[in-house]
Structures are given as C-alpha cells and as structure tokens.
C-alpha cells in the first residue's frame, strides 16, 4: 500500500495514497463533522460542514472531496475552521423548519445533535425565509417534508447508486432548490419501489415512514376487535437499538413482553410463516424443475424487490414465485385458519405485522392479497421497527427492564430456517435445507450453506443433490438485482433458483429499521452484526428445518392438506402486475 506523509494539527502521519482529507483524518482518529457525506456513495461537499484549513490553500477546503498529497499540512480545529463550520450550520438552520418537539426524528436527528455540539441554541443567528412546500403524502408508505430538507442529497444518492432507481433529484435552482420527482409529480405516480433506503439515509426528519401508530392504538382499545401481531425475524435483532442497545443485540424476549403489554390479543412469531413460505416455495421449485416450468424461480418475500421487478423488469414477473410473503401468509392464516378454529369473524380481526420494511405498507394494500373475502386485507397495518419502538415509548413501557417472555401459541415454534430469513441469503439457505432433504430422501449431514451467506451484493453457488445439480444466485439491493437479471437475460448466468432482497444486506438493513447516524454506519457493518443475531439463533434452535417444524406439520394436517394443494394456492399464493415505468 502506497503512503504519503502529511501533518494533521502539527503531528506527522503516513496515510494511504489517494485518501481524502476526511478519510486520512479518520484513520488518525480525528473525526470531522459531516452532514452530506456517505462513504462511496455521496461525496459532494454540499453541506460545507467538513471544512478544514490546508496550509498554502487560498481558502478552506471540503475535506470529503479534497485528496491528500505529500507534505500537506492540515488543521481541523483552527479558529477559522470552527467559525466557518458554525456559520455554515447556522445558515442551514436559518431556513429549516424548527418543529423538533413534534418531529419523528426528535433526539435522533444529525442536524439537531450537530447544533447542540456547536452550541447553537438560537436558529435565528441568520433569520431566513423558510420555503413553504406541501408534504408529499401521496403513497401508503412515505412522507416527504421538504421544509425539513437540508439538501444534503443523501436520499438522491442512495436511490440512484445503491438501489439503481433514481426517481428523485434536485429540482429548480438557487434558494428554490428542493428534492422531488420529475416535473413535480407526486411520488405515487413514479416507479418508486417503496424500499425506504432514502429514509434511513436522511439526516433529518425530511423523510419518514407514514406513521400508523394512532390507528393501531385505536384498534387495540376497540372492544369489538381482536388485534393480533406478528414480528419479522430481523426485528428482534434491531428493536433494541431504539432503546440504546448496541447493534447486534437480540431482544426477542423483551420484544414479546412489550407487545403483550401494549395490549395485543395474540403475539406471534413470523418465523412460522417463513417456514410456511419455504414449504410452498420449495414445492414450487421442485415442480418447475420436474415439469419444465419457468426458470429460474425467483423469491417473492421482499415486496420492494417485487415492486421493482414489476416496474423495471416486467419480463421476469413470470419467474417470481407465486408465494405470498411471510407477512401476507400470516395475515391470511390468522383470518382463515385461526378465525375458523376460534369462531371469529375475519371482519372483526385486525392483523398487524412488526416489520423492518416500508414496502410492506404498500404490499398489505395490494388489491389481490385478500384470503378471507372481498374487502378484507390479509394484513391491516405494517408497523416498522421504528414505529414499534415509538409505541413502546409512548405507552410508558420500560423496555430494558422487561422480563423475557415467549410468543403465543399456536405458531410459537419457529425453526432456525425461518429465523435466518432476515439476512441476505437466508431465504435461499432455508429453501435449500428443505429441497435438498426432499430430493435426497435423507437428512443432511451439514445444514449450513455458507456459499450463500455474507453481505456481498451478488453470490452464486451450485449444489449436487443426488443426480440433480441446483444452481443458485443471491442478490441484495435492486442495483445488484438489475445486474444479476441482465446476466440471466443475456445468457451469462445459468441458474434455477434466485433469491433477491431489495435492501442491501437484506431485511436486517431494511428501510423500516432504526436510523443510525452516518458516523455509526461507517464504523459498524450493521447488516453483518444484525444478521449474526439471526444465525446465532438458528444455531441454537432445536428445530432448524422448515419441514420439521411441528406447527407446520399441524397446519398442513388440519387445514392445507399438503404443500401446493388447491386450498394452499387459494390462501397462500398471489399474482403480479407488469407495471412498467
């Protein structure tokens, strides 16, 4: 590794050649504040908060874009630097909508924290006019409030580069510059995939999920309704972050205890329908392979990916598994099987999912998703991890002091295969465990399929199962999905089974997960440490295969008959729309 010699605040350092000043200082354990910077995604020097002084330079320079060179002398905390940073921050605040107490990002806002760090308690040091914009609340999943936008363009960068979508950008010029869609059209009229990655990238409250906590509290307090909730695998790996726990803390027991104290009539584990998905999907894969069906079969668990496929690759919608996602399957099971078993009218059931995903809010209102009858949605509300954290706080529940409690029966037994759904490659591995044992007719000696694990954007593998070779591929983030699909379309890659997750790293890094500041995202590999919770749980569970889950065996025996049955197709499967752009 080539290095250059520089001075930072009078001390000598040898740093990697080609580094920016920001990177060099970070390597020297010197933190420079930033608002717009995102490593490898957004280095544009827009916020001017990362200014430093360089000896011999005519003016202060933006450290995020200025490369180091041999002999450079840098000053990160000179009076000129500190004054310029504070002045620029005051200018940003001068036309910012200051309703911090009512903002969803209150106490978790990078701008708010930076103002505190710089000792700015009066936003009117420069009193500016605040541009008045109408909120874009046109979708079921997201709210954009441009009066809180600081034009850092992080959302634009992650939409364009990470996800390969690019449906938002900077409109107008000068003081009128704002973030929006082309021709000022509302977001609902654009091919947004609802992934929510823009929300977790935003440093302020300019982008938030569409909050549904009031409606859920109202349902819980309605004596005429039975309100059930299930939690996705990855929520137990991230909810603790809402209460000060380190990323990678498993809070399953406390999560269940909190949900019961909120007043839900049943608290269930979505690992159950993750297993149910595997049973249907593995059967569908084997049917397509045996009978010359459309291949590769592509997973349908990620609604952001499904929406992306419908918009950007409609020719692949026939490859999508017809299985509903685990969220939708759980709602369908509750409003059919559980309702029938307990003598409940599906119209009196309110089903809520606690989920790491904003696209699930879109998914639960898909027109063709009903199993219990016309006008009855499988899932009534999709609650992000962030929303669940707010509900717990609002109810005065001391999360970290709660005892660990267990999920309710039925459906309390989830397998390790279901648990790993939240990590990229997890659906593939879970399906392979069941498909392999079905094809081979005997137990696997080793359950780990390590080739499909890890946070790489694209992974491929081939497995010899008796006389059959199964070639598989995994992609996370829709930009990587685009690359993978083009390889398949062009004949560069021959596979029979594909897993795609819309969010980089999978559900553990979903758009509904707790927002961590960019400083934490650069220090900690969040998808990796969160996914470890799920893999550790899998390793410890007594049941690690979907087809060995006793609750799964029970529901097929009592209700569905067998995987792929007519009844299973009516309740657990769905169709897709070739939306186009």
**Residue by residue, what is the 3-state secondary structure of 511-546?**
CCCCCCCHHHHHHCCHHHHHHHHHHHHHHHCCCCCH
Give the pLDDT of residue 346. 96
Inter-residue contact 27 to 19 (CB < 8 Å) = yes
User: How does DSSP assign 378-428, residue by residue?
Assistant: S-SEEEEHHHHHHHHHHTT--GGGPPP--PPSSS----HHHHGGGSTTHHH
Inter-residue contact 470 to 463 (CB < 8 Å) = yes
Tokens 């000043």 — which residue?
21
Give the pLDDT of residue 370. 72
Please provide the distance, in angstroms rounded to a whole number, between the alpha carbons at the two ends of the chain. Answer: 45
User: Which of these, 198, 74, 67, 94, lies nearest to 144 by C-alpha position?
Assistant: 198
Q: β-strands 497-501, 468-476: how paired? A: parallel
Q: How far is CA 66 from CA 34, 72, 73, 151, in A?
A: 14, 11, 13, 21
Which residue ranges form the domains of the chain, and what is each CATH number?
3-92 (3.10.20.740), 123-209 (3.30.70.20), 214-572 (3.40.50.1780)
Give the pLDDT of residue 369. 56
Q: How far is CA 383 from CA 4, 223, 300, 347, 364, in A?
A: 50, 21, 20, 20, 11
Diameter over CA atoms, the chain: 80
Token readout for 90 is 């005051």
Give the pLDDT of residue 124. 67
Give the pLDDT of residue 128. 74
Per-residue pLDDT tens digits for 483-512: 999 999 999 999 999 999 999 999 999 999
The per-residue b/e assignment along 326-340, b for 16 or more CB within 10 angstroms, e otherwise, is bbbbbbbbbbbbbbe
Inter-residue contact 371 to 571 (CB < 8 Å) = yes
Inter-residue contact 381 to 350 (CB < 8 Å) = yes
Residue 29 buriedness (CB in 10 A; 0-12 / 13-18 / 19+): exposed
Per-residue pLDDT tens digits for 191-215: 999 999 999 999 999 999 999 999 9
Q: What is the mean pLDDT of the chain?
A: 95
Inter-residue contact 477 to 162 (CB < 8 Å) = yes
Token readout for 142 is 């997201």
Give the pLDDT of residue 239. 98
Inter-residue contact 493 to 473 (CB < 8 Å) = yes
Q: Kindly give, in sequence order, each residue whose CB lies less than 8 Å from that of residue 444, ignoring residues fewer than 6 positions away.
A: 433, 436, 437
Over its C-alpha atoms, the chain yields an Rg (Å, rounded) of: 25
- DSSP class of residue 228? E
Predicted TM-score (pTM) of the model is 0.95
User: How does DSSP assign 467-485, residue by residue?
Assistant: TEEEEEEEEESHHHHHHHH
Q: β-strands 51-54, 207-209: how paired? A: unpaired
3-class state of residue 437 by DSSP? helix
Report which secondary-structure segment, H or E, holds 116. helix 110-117
Give the pLDDT of residue 136. 97
Give the pLDDT of residue 368. 61
Inter-residue contact 550 to 413 (CB < 8 Å) = yes
Per-residue pLDDT tens digits for 393-407: 999 999 999 999 999
Regions of the chain where pLDDT drops below 70: 123-124, 367-369
């Amino acid at each position: 590794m080539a290095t250059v010699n520089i001075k930072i605040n009078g001390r000598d350092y040898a740093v990697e050649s080609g580094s920016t000043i920001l990177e060099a200082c970070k390597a020297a354990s010197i933190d420079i504040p930033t608002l717009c910077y995102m490593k490898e995604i957004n280095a544009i020097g827009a916020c001017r908060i990362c200014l430093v002084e360089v000896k011999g330079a005519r003016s202060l320079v933006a450290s995020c874009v200025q490369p180091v060179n041999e002999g450079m002398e840098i000053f990160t905390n000179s009076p000129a630097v500190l004054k310029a940073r504070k002045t620029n921050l005051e200018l940003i605040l001068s036309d910012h909508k200051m309703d911090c107490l009512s903002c969803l990002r209150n106490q978790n806002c990078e701008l708010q924290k930076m103002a505190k760090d710089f000792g700015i308690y009066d936003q009117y040091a420069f009193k500016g006019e605040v541009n008045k914009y109408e909120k874009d609340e046109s979708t079921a999943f997201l709210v954009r409030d441009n009066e809180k936008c600081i034009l850092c363009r992080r959302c634009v960068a992650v939409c364009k580069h990470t996800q390969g979508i690019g449906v938002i950008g900077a409109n107008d010029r000068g003081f009128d510059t704002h973030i929006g869609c082309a021709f000022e059209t509302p977001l609902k009229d654009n091919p947004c995939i609802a992934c929510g990655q823009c929300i977790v990238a935003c440093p302020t409250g300019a982008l938030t999920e569409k909050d549904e906590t009031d409606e859920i509290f109202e349902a819980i307090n309605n004596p005429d309704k039975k309100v059930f909730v299930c939690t996705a695998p990855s929520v137990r790996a991230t909810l603790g972050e809402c209460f000060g726990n380190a990323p990678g803390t498993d809070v399953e027991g406390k999560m269940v205890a909190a949900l019961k104290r909120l007043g839900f009539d049943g608290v269930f584990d979505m690992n159950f329908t993750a297993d149910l998905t595997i049973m249907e999907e593995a059967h569908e894969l084997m049917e397509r392979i045996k009978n010359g069906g459309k291949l590769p079969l592509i997973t349908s668990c990620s609604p952001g990916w499904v929406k992306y496929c419908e918009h950007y690759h409609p020719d692949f919608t026939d490859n999508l598994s017809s299985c509903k996602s685990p969220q939708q399957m759980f709602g369908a099971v509750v409003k059919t099987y559980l309702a029938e078993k307990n003598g409940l009218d599906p119209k009196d059931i309110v089903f809520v999912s606690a989920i790491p995903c904003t696209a699930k809010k879109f998914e639960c209102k898909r027109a063709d998703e009903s199993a219990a009858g016309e006008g009855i949605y499988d899932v009534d509300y999709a609650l992000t991890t962030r929303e669940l954290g707010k509900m717990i706080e609002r109810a005065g529940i001391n999360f970290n002091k709660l005892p660990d409690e267990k999920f309710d029966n039925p459906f309390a037994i989830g397998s390790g295969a279901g648990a790993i759904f939240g990590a990229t490659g997890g659906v593939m591995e879970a399906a392979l465990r069941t498909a392999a044992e079905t094809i081979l007719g005997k137990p696997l000696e080793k359950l780990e399929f390590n080739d499909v694990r890890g946070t790489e954007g694209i992974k491929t593998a081939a497995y010899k199962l008796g006389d059959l070779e199964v070639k598989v591929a995994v992609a996370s983030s829709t930009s990587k999905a685009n690359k993978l699909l083009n390889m398949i379309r062009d004949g560069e890659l021959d596979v029979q089974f594909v897993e795609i997750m819309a969010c980089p790293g999978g559900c553990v890094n979903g758009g509904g997960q707790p927002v961590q500041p960019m400083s934490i995202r650069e220090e900690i590999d969040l998808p990796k440490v969160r996914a470890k919770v799920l893999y550790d749980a899998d390793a410890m569970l007594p049941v690690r295969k979907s087809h060995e889950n006793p609750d799964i065996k029970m529901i097929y025996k009592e209700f569905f008959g067998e995987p792929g049955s007519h009844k299973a197709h009516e309740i657990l499967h769905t169709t897709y729309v070739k939306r186009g752009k």
